[in-house]
Structures are given as structure tokens and as C-alpha cells.
A and B are shown apart, each in its own frame.
Chain A
Amino acid sequence: MVCESWKAKLDTYLDGEVPEQEMRTFDAHVRNCPSCSADALARVQMKRAIQVAGRRFTPTAEFRKRMQQSIARKPQRSFRMGWLLAAAAAVILVAGTLTTAYLGTRGARDGVFSEIADLHVETLASSSPVDVISTDRHTVKPWFQGKIPFAFNLPELQNSEFSLLGGRMAYLNQTPGAHLIYDVRKHHISVFVFQERSLPAKVNENSLSPKKLPFNLETWSQGGLCYFVIGDASPADIDSLAKLFKAAS
């Protein structure tokens, strides 16, 4: 089998543990080999399913309280320190709430990034990656009318290295959005556009993509819409395409 050696390392690749140089070669192979891309998709879905099924048990509130009490530093109480302690407790409570909110947001944000990566991989593996096949933005943009509850602009690509391959519908958090596929020097780049309010967490330019995401990704919010540009192209290419979108919006 030609792909035997690739497939032996496919899990390591999807775990993001292949050296960077090899990662690019892998990306190129997976993109061009139907057997490996289908296999990669199945394995990604398996990973996601285990991730969901594995988050099964949550501690009771009572146990959490007991635990917190057992590891909390025991303060030496004095009457004069009462107000100070009360103030400190309030600060800790606020900080704790903020930390919990932050961690929760970050978890939700990582979830969004993983979903976006899955949608991109799914497209690479699909035999019909686009529903509207056209290099003309004036054909692709109207195709979305009536299918998604918002309008967006597509950039002019003249004098750029990018070419539009087409578009398809995408769903994130049970809400529809636009998925556009671009090509740059044989690399496929996906651009996703969703309504900002439909996303579970705030994402912006400062949002860092998860460490193990095997793609380059750029995201930003503009005019109530959230954009994701993802692909195995170089960060510079991803950034160039993102800039074109920002300028067009």
C-alpha cells in the first residue's frame, strides 16, 4: 500500500506532534490523497467523540466546597482585621468569578476553533467541497442570499495570488454561516463568516488559536460578523487574505 507509511503516522499528525517541516509535507499529502483525507476525517471525528464522551463526571457542589475549605489558607482572625478580611474576601470572590468566567470563555473559544478546524478538514476530505463553483465573487455572493440571515462582502482578488474556488453553507452552533474556499499556490484556505451573536464565546484578533491546531488561523470580528481564515498556507498568506476581507467589509 502506497499510503501505509503515512497512515502509520496519521494519529501523531492529528495530535499535532509531527515536526513542523514534516507537518507541511503531511498537509500536502492529506490534501491530495482521498484515502488519507477520508481516514484523517474519521480519526478527527473519533477524537472529538472521545473528547465529548470523556467529559462525563462532574464533582458535586458539596465536594467542591469541602475541597476548597481544606486547602484554603487558614487566616488568623482578629476583631480589628474583620473589615480587612471581609474586603479581601470580596476581592477574591470577584477575582474567582472573573477567573471562572475567563476560563469558561477560553474553553468555549477553543471549542469554536476546533469546530472551525473540523469544518475545514471535512471540506478537504469531501468529494464535492463547494456547492457553488465559481471564481466570480458576483456569482458566489448572491448564492448565499436567502440561505444565511446576513450579508457580507467578498474582496476583489485582482492583483493578488488568491483565487476563489467557490462556497458552501456551514453550520456552527446550529446556526448557518458562509464558507468560502480560496486557493493560493495549491493551498486551500477556508474563510468562515458567522454572526457574532451566534458564537458561544467572544473571539477577536487577540484570540490565540489552540496550541495543537494543525493549521494557521486568523480571526476577527467586524460589523457584527465573525470571520475565520484557516488553512495550511503560511501565516503571511492567511494574513493577506484576512486583510483583503477586512478591507472589503
Chain B
Amino acid sequence: MFYYVDVSGATLQPDSFEELAMPLFDQLYNFAHWLTQNREEAEDLVQETYAKALKGFSSFQLGTNFRAWMYRILRNTFLTSRTGLKVTMTVPLDTEEDGTEMAVERDTPETLLFARSNSDLLQSAIDELPVHFREILLLCEVEEMSYQEIAETLSVPIGTVMSRLSRARRTLRGLLRPQLQEGASAAIARETNHGL
């Protein structure tokens, strides 16, 4: 879903900010909570994002993507927050080069296994992802942003979006594999005990 501001209007009225920004409230909050992993910090982050966006709304570039603009403010605010600084200091940003990844082996039964049932496992695995992988995966899969939008939001080239997304997916699979194997073993053990 895109939110473009009408370029025909020379000046933006303050109430049009509310009209544009409030429909994004739920998704921005969800994204903020994933980044901060804490309800109170997520609320502070969203509040600060809206305050900054409202203040800078008059300088918002007409005709550009409003949603990407809001996400960019939220992300930059997060990165300069105490939690954000801690995260970026402990997790080095990836040094990926532009270009596509080589194919990786996929464990089809595993993906099939959790596709329908193991949402908790998946949420824990997403939580464990380094923040730069977590955010790109959520922007692509949950927010359904195009690569162009993600590139605008993260201020990186599209090639970086592609390679980082690929690494994020591979890392997520790597995190899920042992959990799923453990889950499967536990299920087998339960079945065996039940049989005895």
C-alpha cells in the first residue's frame, strides 16, 4: 500500500498529516516493538517518530513515498536511541556487497512443518535475528514493501536490499533448523512414551 501526497497542492495542511499518518499507526507500532523488543520503548519510539514527522511535515518532499518517509524517521530515531546504539554497537552491520546470493539448500519439510503451526518458534527466531536482518525481513514480508521502498526506507541501494534480504532469510532458516529438529525429537519422544 502506498501513500503519495497529492503534488497538485502547493502547501500541505497540518490536518492532512493526521489523515496520512494515523492509518500507519498500527504497523509502525508493530515495527517499533520488533525493533525495541519492549512495549514502553516502542511507544516512546512511535511517539517521537510522529512528533518529528509532524514537525518536518512541511519539508516533506511532495510526490515521494510517505510511508517510506515515516519508516525512515522511525528507524533513524531508533538507531540514535540508547537501545538502538547498544544494538548497533554489539551487532556489526553487515559488510555485504551488492549482487545476488548463490542458491542455498532448502529444507522443504522444515518450512512445511512450521508454515502452519509453529508461529511461536518463528517469532522467537525473528527476535533472535540481528536488527538489520529483522527490520529488512519485516519490511519485505509484513509490510510488503517493494525493494525500491525498502531501499528508500533504509537509505541503501537496491542491490544491498537484495543481498541483505537473502542473508536475513538464510540466517532465519539457520536459526529455525535446530529448534525444529529439537521440536521434532520431542514430539517423537512424546509419541514413544505415549505408546509405552
Contact = CB atoms under 8 A, between A and B. Distances in A.
Interface of A: 1, 3-4, 7-12, 15-17, 38-39, 42-43, 45-59, 63-64, 66-68, 70-73, 99, 103, 106, 210-212
Interface residues of B, number: 50
Interface stretch (B63-71, B80-88, B115-123, B186-194): B115-123
A103 B115 CA distance: 26
B142 interface: yes
A48 B106 CA distance: 16
A146 B172 CA distance: 44
Given A10-B103, A106-B1, 16 more contacts: A1-B103, A8-B101, A15-B140, A42-B106, A45-B112, A50-B126, A51-B142, A54-B34, A54-B126, A54-B142, A56-B30, A56-B123, A57-B29, A59-B25, A59-B29, A64-B25
The interface centre, meaning the residue of A1, A15, A38 with most chain B CB atoms within 10 A of its CB, is A15
Interface in B151-193: 162, 165-166, 169, 172
B54 A57 contact: no
A183 B101 CA distance: 35
Given A15-B147, A212-B146, A53 B103 contact: no
Nearest to B134: A54
B165 A11 contact: yes
Contacts, number: 119
A11 to B, nearest CB: 6
A59 B166 contact: no
Interface of B: 1, 14-15, 17-18, 21-23, 25-26, 29-30, 33-34, 39, 42-43, 46-47, 50-51, 54, 100-103, 106, 108, 111-112, 114-116, 119, 122-123, 126, 137-138, 140-142, 144, 146-147, 162, 165-166, 169, 172
B141 A54 contact: yes
A213 B112 CA distance: 21
Prevailing SS type, chain A contact patch: helix
Contacts of A212: 144, 146
A54 B169 CA distance: 14
B177 to A, nearest CB: 13
A54 B31 CA distance: 9
A42 B108 contact: yes
A67 B50 contact: yes
Nearest to A66: B47
A59 B103 contact: no
A50 to B, nearest CB: 4
A63 B17 contact: no
Nearest to A54: B142
A56 B111 contact: no
A115 to B, nearest CB: 13
Given A39-B108, A58-B30, A52 B46 contact: no
B119 A53 contact: yes
A70 B14 CA distance: 12
Given A56-B33, A68-B22, A43 B142 contact: no
